[in-house]
Amino acid sequence: MKCSKCNMDAVAHQPYSGAHLCRKHLIEDVERKVKKDIRQLQMVEKNDSIAVALSGGKDSVVLLYLLHKLFSKRPDITLFAVTIDEGISGYREHTIEIAQKVTDMLGIQLHVISMKGELGKSLDEVAAEERDKGACSFCGVFRKKLLNMTARKLGATKLAVGHNLDDEAQTAFLNVLRGDVGRMSRMHKKQQGLVYRIKPLRSVPEKEVALYAILQNLPVDFSECPYAHEAMRGEVRDIINSIEVKHPGTKYSILRGSDETARLLNIAQQDVTLSVCSVCGEPTAAEVCQSCRLLGQKQDMVDFVKG
């Protein structure tokens, strides 16, 4: 099959647009989508210091590479990377190596933050004690907190995360399934104490992020976290993927619908002012933040955080 834009062989097919694209035009298309969203949603502003959440997986590696490509010549923009080491043995060691490799390659500073060092226990230890809850419910909350804390302490004005179109569609769908209107409305909101999160890959389908990484020869690892099968997100991913096959463009429709819902909810709602968690002092909408509430079921960890 030939590229829809030139005479070269196609490496990708986009059922949602009908296009077949060669290497050059797929790369151009991914970069066009990212630049358009950065501009339209004003993700990067003058004098920004951007902390990039770098797990070492394909999404975050592509994110760091693209932000470096777009902004490394801007003297007013600073980029640095933050990796959270949750302590997932047999998996995280390798992705940290990749994070180190890619930051060395781009000349970007990397900060590795250990969950055990900050919270007293590794994710493997928590998961072993909380088999019924599943590791992901702890991991997501703890990682978000550590990323925000680290970005803020290092003076970041933005926190860039590698969520792609598939992740965003899944999150929007999960918010509906959980009836979580609060989370729907917070999608693009600036909140005091929380470093503003930007998602430059939000319009790029996961497959195209992976292909971009391969075509640009980036050091990435496609292995999956050993706990990944536990999350409800996996079920939602399968449902959305099967609908997308029959109705191409569904993921983009979900994203557009979720953006519009957030916009309408924000008109209807008062601004949420965050207070500080009475246990750890981090920003939260409740008296005790979600991370400390989860830790609260484990008194030794609360004592550790307090102490």
Show the beta-strand stretches assigned E in the chain.
12-14, 19-21, 49-53, 78-85, 110-114, 158-160, 196-198, 275-276, 283-284
Q: Is 172 in the site for Zn ion (CB under 5 A)?
A: no
Q: Which is nearer to ligand SF4, 79 or 135 (CB)?
A: 135
Work out what residue 63 binds among ligand SF4, Zn ion, none; the CB cut-off runs from 5 to 8 Å by kind: none
Which listed range, 6-14, 40-48, 53-61, 297-305, lies at the site for Zn ion (CB under 5 A)?
6-14
Among 30, 139, 146, 156, binds ligand SF4 (CB under 6 A): 139
Residue 19: burial class (beta carbons within 10 Å; 0-12, 13-18, 19+):
middle
Q: Is 2 helix (H, G, I), strand (E, B) or coil?
A: strand
Q: Which of residues 13-32 bind Zn ion (CB under 5 A)?
A: 22, 25
Query: What character string, x for contact with ligand SF4 (CB under 6 A) and - otherwise, covers 177-216?
Result: ----------------------------------------
CB of residue 228 to ligand SF4, shortest distance in Å = 4
Per DSSP, the residues of 53-75 read: E--SBHHHHHHHHHHHHHHTT-T
227 binds ligand SF4, rule: CB under 6 A: yes
Q: How far apart are CA 157 and CA 45, in angstroms?
A: 9
> Residue count at the site for ligand SF4 (CB under 6 A)?
8
Nearest Cα to Cα of residue 221 among 70, 101, 50, 88: 101
- Least separation, in Å, of the C-beta of 7 and Zn ion? 8
Min CB(245)–Zn ion separation in Å:
25
Is residue 82 involved in binding ligand SF4 (CB under 6 A)?
Answer: no
Residue 119 makes contact with ligand SF4 by CB under 6 A = no
161 binds ligand SF4 (CB under 6 A): no
CA distances from 101 to 54, 105, 106, 115, 181 (A): 12, 6, 9, 21, 40
